[in-house]
Amino acid sequence: MITPRPFAGLGHADHGWLDTRHHFSFADYHDPARMGVGPLRVWNDDIIAPDTGFPMHPHRNMEIITYVRQGAITHQDHLGNHGRTAAGDIQVMSAGKGILHAEFNREPATTTLFQIWIVPARTGGAPHWEQRAFPTAERAGLMVPLASGSDELQAKGAASILQDATLFAAILTPGQRLDHRFVHGGLGYLVVARGGLEADGVGLGARDGAVVHDQAGVGLTAGAEGAELLLADLPALTPFH
């Protein structure tokens, strides 16, 4: 089954410097019917104004993936890590037993990104941060693993997370079809970053989300503008909300 979550119906908060949409309950947006999908707890769609950002703040026991769609984000943490993650690339922060970090848009233009939080399979580990570049050409017509708890997919270039889950990304040309078979348990969350597509015949537009559940995989066909998509392939640890 495909359960769409249209962009227009997402939770919304405009803080001036930050315009954010929440696919699941987060901060002041609370919907008991939208508490996550399996271990996927947060998927925020953020627009960050130039020379603004999140000052130093703590996280604990969460796998936090940032996928930059436009612009770049600059990270700094108490471990001494510092880096700039540009559009199309990701950074992964395993908060473990605790980490302090800051993220800022140091660019002259707006930065847009997805921030994705996944509950880890085990808690209290040592925190770490890493970033990976994923050139557009590598994702053309293919599901590329960006971050994963699978040793096999990490060996293929995916960043490491502490959960039996994988975040995939793909770029499809107009009309192109891609079939994905779930590798972690038959549950997924799909988000269209750009363009539009049909997921097993269900139409999705730019920045729409959809829960894919109770099926072994999903067939994706890009619309007239093509599509850039992300798919969280998840273990069915709990019923989806």
C-alpha dihedral sign at 12, 205, 112, 40: positive
**Rounded mean pLDDT, 131-146:** 92
Structure tokens at 94: 């395993």
Answer whether residue 32 shows pLDDT above 90: yes
State percent of the chain over pLDDT 70. Answer: 98
Domain boundaries along the sequence of the chain: 2-234
CA distance 88 to 72: 9
Answer whether residue 241 shows pLDDT above 70: no
Tokens 């499809």 -> residue = 172
Tokens 């970090």 -> residue = 101
Q: Burial code of 79-111, b = ≥16 C-beta within 10 A, e = fewer?
A: eebeeebebbbbbbbbbbeebebebbbebeeeb
Q: Residue 95's closest CA among 65, 67, 57, 128?
A: 128
Answer whether residue 240 shows pLDDT above 90: no
Residue 237's pLDDT band (boundaries 50, 70, 90)? low
In DSSP notation, 197-231 reads EEETTEEE-TT-EEEEESSSEEEEEEEEEEEEEEE
What counts of helices (H) and strands (E) characterise the chain? 1, 20
Structure tokens at 4: 């769409």
The yes or no reply on domain 2-234 and CATH 2.60.120.10 is yes
**Rounded mean pLDDT, 188-216:** 97
The CA R_g of the chain, rounded to the nearest whole Å, is 17
What is the tens place of the pLDDT at every residue in 7-29? Answer: 999 999 999 999 999 999 999 99
pLDDT value for 103: 97
C-beta separation of 80 from 102 below 8 A? no
What is the tens place of the pLDDT at every residue in 56-101? Answer: 999 999 999 999 999 999 999 999 999 999 999 999 999 999 999 9
Tokens 């108490």 -> residue = 78
Structure tokens at 132: 């990976």
State percent of the chain over pLDDT 90. Answer: 95
Residue 138's pLDDT band (boundaries 50, 70, 90)? confident
pLDDT value for 63: 98
